Amino acid sequence: MHVIFMAPNFPANQREFVRALHAVGAKVTGIGDSPVEYLDSELKSWLSGYEHIPSLADEGALLNAVHRIQKRGWVDRLECTVEAIMLTTARVREQARIPGLSVDQVLVCRDKYVMKQYLRERGIPCAKTEAISTIEEGKKYANSIGYPVIVKPRDGAGAHGTSRCNNDDQLVKALQEMGIGHPRVFVSIEEFVSGHEGFYDTLTCNGEIVFESISHYYPNVLEAMRDRSLSPYIVVTNRLDSEGYSELKSFGRRVVRELGLQTSPTHMEWFFGPKGLYFSEIGARPPGVRFWDLYCWANDMDLYKDWAQALVYGHAQPQPSRRYSAGLISIRANREGRVTGYSGLEKVQETCGKWLGEVHLPAIGSRVPDVGAGYMGHGWLHVRHPDYDVCRGMLEYIGQTLKIWAD
């Protein structure tokens, strides 16, 4: 099988998809916005060819690159795992007559308003929402459903560009900052749903779920991306068979069926609170922040290779051990400026010992990123343990003990 793979070298774990495809015997051609000399020798050894285009969001340039590859030989799949370019890839996929996710399937996953309308029509619970193009439309809808409300880009990912507004003044300010009124700015406004937040991920093969996983945010994402004093973390549970997850798994499986997904990763964000279970985001892609790496580490498996097997051969039988819960914690500097040092790392290494995985700390002298840079935009660490509660306790301890100082 010949697979064209988008953006093979960025973000960092993109190379793992290429590695896995190569390992199962696929021929892989990459398309990226980095010149070929920027690719390391190992990555290039897994590729049979590479096309450089200035922007992966340029539909015309991408289509031309795909046509050049097709002239050199048959192409079976055009695969994309990066949220921001999935819709462009789907449009090119259809024009080039290559099988895979359709434009309609990707649109449901990318457009927050379309997504929630689609889910509600099929009985899957999600927040009330409306598409708006002016400040007055936003104020009218917010007052009809009551504050607080959430405003977000219709094609956003995670909490990027998302704001909670408690009154008209906050709403007007948020919409102005988003650039509402510009013809290329598309905004949705929705009711605020309180509760605990997490995500449900799957790998599907020919429409069947062959792997599933459930993770939890502490605290919720919107709070985590706004408060520098927090050390937020995400934990994947190994208690997947607990009765409390039954409804979540049932709804998640329904989403896969309703979307008609065949062979694809999925990522579904959820809330559970006073109003019950709500879905907030659906993605036909892997989760961000290299979370598949944690799935592999927690389950003694190579999920990338299972994905490649499903794509290339139409069958996959992942065997997750469920031996560990595992977590990612983000450590922010105490203030803006430049990193001057760390404290508490030795204590963390001594206390967590063999349960500690990858550790990434920013270089001394590097500039401190904005608080909303994401879970891996700052310092970060991986932890795993057979017991979920112990794993979470270690993450709490790390957040209290390890400090990054800036001036």
Q: Where are the domains of the chain?
A: 2-100, 128-191, 196-406
Q: Which residue type occupies 174?
A: A
Residue 158 has pLDDT above 60, yes or no: no
Write down how long the chain is: 407
Distance CA(344)–CA(304), nearest Å, equals 34
**Residue (of 121, 91, 124) closest to 105 by Cα position:** 91
Q: Are 94 and 63 in contact (CB under 8 A)?
A: no
Q: 128-191, superfamily in CATH? A: ATP-grasp fold, A domain (3.30.1490.20)
pLDDT value, residue 184? 78
- Fold observed for domain 2-100: Rossmann fold (3.40.50)
Distance CA(187)–CA(154), nearest Å, equals 5
* Cis status of the peptide bond prior to 232, with omega within 30 of 0: no
Distance CA(8)–CA(24), nearest Å, equals 17
Cβ-based neighbours of 173, under 8 Å, separated by 6 or more: none
**Residue (of 136, 407, 119) closest to 128 by Cα position:** 119
Residue 215 has pLDDT above 60, yes or no: yes
pLDDT value, residue 186? 86
Residue 157 has pLDDT above 70, yes or no: no
Rounded mean pLDDT, 90-118: 93
From the CA atom positions of the chain, what is the Rg in Å? Answer: 21
Rounded mean pLDDT, 374-390: 97
CA distances from 219 to 124, 226, 233 (A): 25, 11, 7
Q: How far apart are the first and last CA of the chain?
A: 53
HSE at residue 236, side-chain half, CA atoms within 13 A, is: 27
Predicted confidence (pLDDT) per residue in 60-99, tens digit: 999 999 999 999 999 999 999 999 999 999 999 999 999 9
Q: Are 316 and 307 in contact (CB under 8 A)?
A: yes
Q: pTM for this structure?
A: 0.92
Right CATH for 196-406 from 3.90.700.10, 3.10.20.600, 3.30.470.20, 3.10.20.340 = 3.30.470.20
Judging by beta carbons within 10 Å of its beta carbon (0-12, 13-18, 19+), is residue 156 exposed, middle or buried? Answer: buried
147 pLDDT band, cuts 50/70/90, is very high
